[in-house]
């Protein structure tokens, strides 16, 4: 049974329910912890690590760790800010992200985090690995150069029988996202749009619909990512 | 093909949980798991092709295209390279007329690399159709290739077998056990069933209490108190599982191979005792595919135990039911991580799970599960047999008992040594006949590279903890190239990739080490490598990413002078090579590609 418990984030008194994940409990208290793979109420993947916080002094992923009574969470410390910035930079060098030419620009969580953490030049050398673009299915472009392996599509986009449309292929440096050819042939309009929406970057794009929302009117064009949560309790 | 695949799926219970067994059977039957096979398996199991491919493409030994009639997997671990792997590789390529990574046009032979196959004491070694070939040389390769040409079965390409059970009719392997030193715990006298009989004569709580009192800690490397793990699991409500981690993948370790060959029944006895202690009915031995050659033998030992009523229904007439099955892996180091091992056993990609919940709460099939190392189970048998007090007399105050060390590299007597905890590195080097030692890699790539100035340190959980891998690096070796780069390449290959810091930073660090070796680095690069490794350590999900920067950390810390002699002491050095950039266009116009003479 869930009970109310108290905890702190960077000294701020917060309240949450037992069993609630740190990232969700923080959001309910108006504290933004950045995420790329997390989606509320979906089984967490814990794959992007950008939500790394310190719980009672230990590094933990806020999207997989439940709050405990009286725990003390560090979130906006210089150390953690630098780690998050490094992860954003790392994602920019290991994939191929060219924002100006991307349909997702302005709606992209990775790009928005780049701005939030004021990334200028990545500290890591660019990998320039070339990856494929898969345009075989009728409704979706799979632009593998932009995939950040968050697993949202794998976890969330399924058919009535619970079969996944998306799956990983390979492992480690050869890891790539793949779309099940057979299932994709009969993918519904709604599911295709949903897949594009949940993708935090521009890896999953709906074919035939381009720039429906003009630049300037997109999610992060005028407000930084996370401001919806941070404005909650103002 | 269709009928065969349908029958394979059916004989494995037609369930996605047995996908590993299905894929292994298909790979062995058809030498690959083709797209057509994937499609059939998916429709038979009622899952998507994407899901079958998720599992299939995770493991090294599943291939989309057929491997050769003779599939050679050459071990490219550091010890193999140190023992002359490149010569062997060169000879294989000469003989077969193909490169590594290729299959000959006639389909006779395919050449590929694989990570450590647990033969570091008899390198260079390779698997050919899952038969182990050790101590390879140019001469041996010539003979092997001639035999392949003649169409000989792999098993009959040699007639001299190793010692002990390696010569058993069900094993018939050239592998040597190389047991150099035995202490009375794992490698001493052993009489099957004695420990179990004693356990069943008391109640389960007393068994856990005895193991707890012995201070036995996990022998896989992490060192978690075994008794505590059993206690936690026994307190859960649902019927738990016992799993044995025989996915010995840390490069340089091979001691579990010896236990699997020479103390097979003891492992199962330990699992059965654990099953009794926590109230389990079923145990699973997760065995790495590299040890496929032991399959028939291991299964025979299980049969023997059943016929002796030491396994199965109503064990020793005490009303306790427990049985064990063997689950094979298919080539993935990360499956040695316990939650990844569970995922793999459930037929999925071997990606570590998020914690909490811990396996003792929710493990295999979401039921409470204990997972212990092979050596831990063997130690538990003797603890029950002789008592915790007897056990605690061995070792040091904080590390009780003995430890099996797999010692390889530049020494006269590589092999397995059972020693009491507390031996110093210096004593160990004398024991194995090692001279002119530059460093000892303790606990494999994820461990510590120990310099001579620290050879007085103790092998013990409180000083130098280890899962047992000890690689001796002689003075003539190129530490960065032979060891550090090899290890980083290993981690880059073996990261599962599902948490992106481990996936990416291993790649980045490998490239940085390469730059140092190529003389392209500057001093500040060293501090960067340490800082970047810290980020990976602090943010990665499982032990792999948390420890895979260790080759870089521990060598920069302990061999700083070596690094500094290889980097330039300047503020900035561009990576841009203008000569290289204009080379192609210069070639067209017939001008030398040299901007600065």
pLDDT digits (tens, 9 = 90+) for B6-37: 999 999 999 999 999 999 999 999 999 999 99
Q: Touching check for A135 and chain B: CB below 8 Å?
A: no
Fold of the A85-206 domain:
Alpha-Beta Plaits (3.30.70)
**What is the percent of chain A with per-residue pLDDT over 70, rounded to a whole number?**
99
Predicted confidence at residue B453, as pLDDT, reads 97
Residue A52: strand pairing partners: A61
Which of B500, B513, B536 is most worth mutating to test chain A (most A CB atoms within 10 A of its CB)? B500
Predicted confidence at residue B575, as pLDDT, reads 79
Which of A151, A172, A181, A204 is most worth mutating to test chain B (most B CB atoms within 10 A of its CB)? A172
The CATH number given to B402-477 is 3.10.20.600
Burial of B594 (0-12, 13-18, 19+ CB in 10 A): exposed
> Residues B112-132: what's their mean pLDDT?
97
> Residues A127-135: what's their mean pLDDT?
90
Note whether A171 contacts B541, CB cutoff 8 Å: no
Predicted confidence at residue B184, as pLDDT, reads 86
- Tell me how close the Cα of B108 comes to any Cα of chain A, in angstroms: 26
The reported pTM is: 0.95
**ipTM of the shown complex:** 0.95
CATH architecture observed for domain B480-564:
Up-down Bundle (1.20)
Predicted confidence at residue B94, as pLDDT, reads 97
Nearest CB among A83, A172, A182 relative to B503 is that of A172
Note whether B354 contacts A123, CB cutoff 8 Å: no
Average pLDDT, chain B: 95
Residue of A nearest to B58 (CA): A170
Between residues A169 and B574, the one the model is more confident about = A169
Q: Do domains A4-76 and A85-206 have the same CATH topology?
A: no
Predicted confidence at residue B579, as pLDDT, reads 87
Nearest CB among B46, B504, B540 relative to A94 is that of B504
Residue A234 pLDDT grade (very low, low, confident, very high; cuts 50, 70, 90): low
Chain A residue numbers with beta carbons less than 8 Å from the beta carbon of B520 are none
Nearest CB among B50, B507, B541 relative to A46 is that of B541
Fold of the A4-76 domain:
Ubiquitin-like (UB roll) (3.10.20)
Note whether B539 contacts A49, CB cutoff 8 Å: yes
Residue B564 pLDDT grade (very low, low, confident, very high; cuts 50, 70, 90): very high
Residue of B nearest to A170 (CA): B57
Backbone angles phi, psi at A154, to 5 degrees: -65, -40
Note whether A172 contacts B496, CB cutoff 8 Å: yes
Residue B420: strand pairing partners: B402
pLDDT digits (tens, 9 = 90+) for B163-196: 999 999 999 999 999 999 998 899 999 999 999 9
Nearest CB among B356, B495, B501 relative to A49 is that of B501
Q: Where in chain B is the domain with CATH 1.20.1440.230?
A: 480-564
Which of A125, A168, A201 is most worth mutating to test chain B (most B CB atoms within 10 A of its CB)? A168
What b/e string do you get for B189-214 counting C-beta neighbours within 10 Å, with b at 16 or more? ebebbebbebbbeeebeebbbbbbbb
> Residues A138-147: what's their mean pLDDT?
96
Residue B597 pLDDT grade (very low, low, confident, very high; cuts 50, 70, 90): low
Of the candidates B572, B580, B500, the one whose C-alpha atom is nearest the C-alpha of residue B541 is: B500
Determine the Cα–Cα distance for residues A152 and B477; give it in Å rounded to an integer.
46
- Tell me how close the Cα of A82 comes to any Cα of chain B, in angstroms: 9
pLDDT digits (tens, 9 = 90+) for B447-504: 999 999 999 999 999 999 999 999 999 999 999 999 999 999 999 999 999 999 999 9
- Return all residues near A94 (Cβ < 8 A) that are at least 6 apart: A127, A129, B500, B503, B504, B507, B508
Domain ranges of chain A: 4-76, 85-206
Note whether A59 contacts B538, CB cutoff 8 Å: yes
Q: Touching check for A155 and chain B: CB below 8 Å?
A: no
Q: Touching check for A234 and chain B: CB below 8 Å?
A: no
Determine the Cα–Cα distance for residues B142 and B493; give it in Å rounded to an integer.
30
The CATH number given to B70-162 is 3.40.30.10
Chain B residue numbers with beta carbons less than 8 Å from the beta carbon of A48 are 499-500
Determine the Cα–Cα distance for residues B227 and B218; give it in Å rounded to an integer.
10
- Tell me how close the Cα of B349 comes to any Cα of chain A, in angstroms: 9
Mark out chain B residues that contact chain A at CB-CB < 8 A. Answer: 39, 46-51, 53-54, 57-58, 332, 349, 354-356, 492-501, 503-508, 511, 528, 532, 535, 538-541, 575
Determine the Cα–Cα distance for residues B207 and A38; give it in Å rounded to an integer.
43
Q: Touching check for A229 and chain B: CB below 8 Å?
A: no
Note whether A124 contacts B532, CB cutoff 8 Å: yes
Run of H or E including B448? strand B448-450
pLDDT digits (tens, 9 = 90+) for B69-95: 999 999 999 999 999 999 999 999 999
Q: Where in chain B is the domain with CATH 3.40.30.10?
A: 70-162
Nearest CB among A125, A151, A165 relative to B50 is that of A165
Chain A residue numbers with beta carbons less than 8 Å from the beta carbon of B542 are none
DSSP string of A144-206, one letter each residue: GGG-----HHHHH-B-TT--BSEEEES-GGG-EEEE-HHHHHT--HHHHHHHHHH-SSSSEEE
Determine the Cα–Cα distance for residues B151 and B141; give it in Å rounded to an integer.
15
Residue A233 pLDDT grade (very low, low, confident, very high; cuts 50, 70, 90): low
pLDDT score of A232 more than 80: no
Q: Touching check for A57 and chain B: CB below 8 Å?
A: no
Assess whether the previous peptide bond of B124 is cis (omega < 30° from 0): yes
pLDDT score of B593 more than 90: no
Q: What does the DSSP 8-state code read for residue B338? A: H
Chain B residue numbers with beta carbons less than 8 Å from the beta carbon of A170 are 57-58, 497
* Whether domain B181-392 has CATH 3.40.50.1110: no
Other C-beta atoms lying within 10 Å of the C-beta of residue B577: 11
pLDDT score of B292 more than 70: yes
pLDDT digits (tens, 9 = 90+) for A27-68: 999 999 999 999 999 999 999 999 999 999 999 999 999 999
pLDDT score of A1 more than 80: no
Which two structure tokens, joined as six digits, stand for B573? 């050095």
Determine the Cα–Cα distance for residues B332 and B343; give it in Å rounded to an integer.
12
Predicted confidence at residue A93, as pLDDT, reads 94
Residue of A nearest to B351 (CA): A171
Nearest CB among A163, A171, A174 relative to B51 is that of A163
Q: Where in chain B is the domain with CATH 3.10.20.600?
A: 402-477
Predicted confidence at residue B510, as pLDDT, reads 97
Residue of A nearest to B511 (CA): A125
Residue of A nearest to B512 (CA): A125
């Amino acid at each position: 049974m869930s009970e109310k418990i108290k905890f702190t984030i960077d000294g701020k008194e917060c309240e949450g329910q037992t069993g609630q994940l740190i990232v969700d409990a923080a959001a309910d208290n108006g504290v933004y912890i950045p995420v790329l793979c997390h989606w509320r109420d979906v089984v967490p993947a814990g794959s992007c690590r950008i939500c790394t916080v310190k719980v009672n002094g230990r590094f933990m992923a806020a999207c997989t760790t439940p709050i405990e009574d009286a725990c003390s969470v560090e979130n906006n410390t210089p150390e953690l800010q630098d780690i998050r910035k490094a992860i954003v930079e790392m994602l920019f060098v290991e994939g191929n992200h060219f924002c100006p030419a991307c349909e997702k620009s302005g709606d992209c969580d990775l790009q928005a985090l780049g701005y939030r953490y004021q990334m200028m030049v990545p500290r890591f050398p660019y990998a320039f690995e070339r990856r494929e673009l898969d345009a075989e299915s009728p409704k979706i472009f799979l632009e593998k150069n932009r995939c950040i392996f968050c697993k949202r599509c794998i976890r969330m986009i399924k058919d009535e029988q619970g079969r996944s449309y998306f799956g990983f292929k390979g492992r480690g440096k050869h890891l790539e996202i793949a779309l099940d050819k057979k299932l994709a042939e009969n993918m519904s309009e709604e599911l295709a749009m949903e897949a594009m929406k949940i993708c935090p970057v521009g890896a999953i794009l709906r074919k035939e619909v381009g720039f429906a929302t003009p630049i300037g009117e997109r999610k992060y064009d005028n407000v930084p990512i996370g401001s919806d949560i941070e404005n909650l309790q103002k | 093909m269709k009928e065969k695949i349908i029958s394979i799926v059916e004989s494995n219970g037609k369930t996605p949980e047995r996908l590993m067994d299905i894929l292994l059977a298909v790979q062995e039957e058809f030498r690959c798991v083709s797209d057509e096979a994937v499609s059939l398996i998916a429709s038979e199991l009622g899952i998507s092709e994407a899901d079958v491919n998720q599992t299939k493409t995770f493991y090294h030994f599943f291939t989309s295209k057929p491997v050769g009639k003779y599939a050679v997997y050459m071990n490219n671990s550091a010890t193999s390279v140190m023992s002359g792997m490149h010569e062997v590789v060169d000879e294989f390529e000469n003989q077969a007329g193909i490169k590594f990574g290729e299959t000959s046009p006639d389909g006779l032979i395919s050449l590929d690399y694989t990570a450590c196959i647990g033969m570091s004491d008899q390198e260079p070694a390779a698997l050919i159709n899952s038969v182990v070939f050790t101590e390879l040389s140019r001469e041996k390769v010539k003979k092997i290739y001639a035999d392949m040409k003649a169409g000989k079965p792999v098993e009959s390409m040699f007639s001299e077998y190793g010692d002990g059970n390696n010569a058993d009719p069900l094993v018939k392997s050239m592998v040597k056990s190389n047991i150099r030193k035995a202490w009375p715990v794992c490698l001493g006298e052993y009489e099957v069933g004695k420990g179990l009989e004693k356990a069943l004569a008391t109640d389960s709580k007393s068994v856990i209490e005895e193991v707890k009192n012995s201070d036995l800690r996990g022998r896989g490397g992490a060192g978690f108190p075994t008794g505590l793990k059993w206690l936690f699991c026994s307190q859960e409500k649902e019927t738990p599982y016992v799993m044995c981690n025989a996915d010995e993948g840390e490069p340089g370790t091979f001691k579990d191979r010896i236990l699997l060959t020479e103390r097979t029944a003891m492992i199962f006895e330990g699992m059965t005792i654990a099953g009794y202690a926590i109230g389990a009915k079923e145990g699973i031995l997760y065995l790495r595919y590299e040890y496929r050659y032991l399959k028939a033998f291991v299964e025979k030992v299980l049969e023997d135990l059943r016929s002796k009523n030491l396994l199965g229904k109503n064990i020793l007439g005490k009303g306790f039911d427990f049985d064990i099955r063997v689950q094979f892996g298919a080539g993935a180091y990360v499956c040695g991580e316990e939650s990844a091992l569970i995922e793999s056993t459930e037929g999925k990609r071997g990606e570590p799970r998020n914690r909490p919940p811990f396996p003792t709460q929710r493990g295999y099939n979401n039921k409470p599960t204990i997972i212990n190392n092979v050596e831990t189970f063997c130690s538990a048998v003797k603890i029950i047999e002789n008592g915790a007090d007897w056990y605690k007399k061995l070792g040091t105050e904080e590390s009780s008992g003995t430890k099996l060390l797999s010692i390889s590299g530049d020494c006269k007597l590589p092999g397995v040594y059972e020693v009491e905890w507390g031996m110093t590195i210096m004593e160990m080097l004398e024991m194995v006949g090692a001279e002119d030692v530059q460093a000892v890699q303790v606990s494999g790539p994820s461990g510590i590279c120990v310099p001579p100035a620290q050879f007085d340190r103790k092998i013990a959980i409180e000083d130098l903890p280890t899962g047992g891998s000890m690689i001796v690096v002689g003075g003539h070796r190129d530490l960065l190239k032979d060891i550090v780069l090899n290890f980083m390449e290993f981690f880059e290959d073996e990261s599962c990739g599902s948490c992106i810091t481990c996936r990416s930073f291993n790649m980045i660090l490998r490239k940085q080490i390469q730059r140092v070796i190529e003389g392209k680095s500057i001093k500040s690069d060293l501090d960067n490598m340490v800082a970047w490794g810290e980020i990976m350590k602090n943010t990665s999900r499982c032990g792999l990413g948390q420890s895979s920067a260790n080759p870089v950390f521990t060598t920069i810390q302990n061999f700083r002078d070596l690094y500094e002699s290889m980097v330039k002491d300047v503020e900035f050095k561009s990576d841009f090579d203008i000569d290289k950039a204009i080379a192609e266009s210069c070639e067209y116009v017939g001008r030398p590609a040299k901007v600065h003479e």
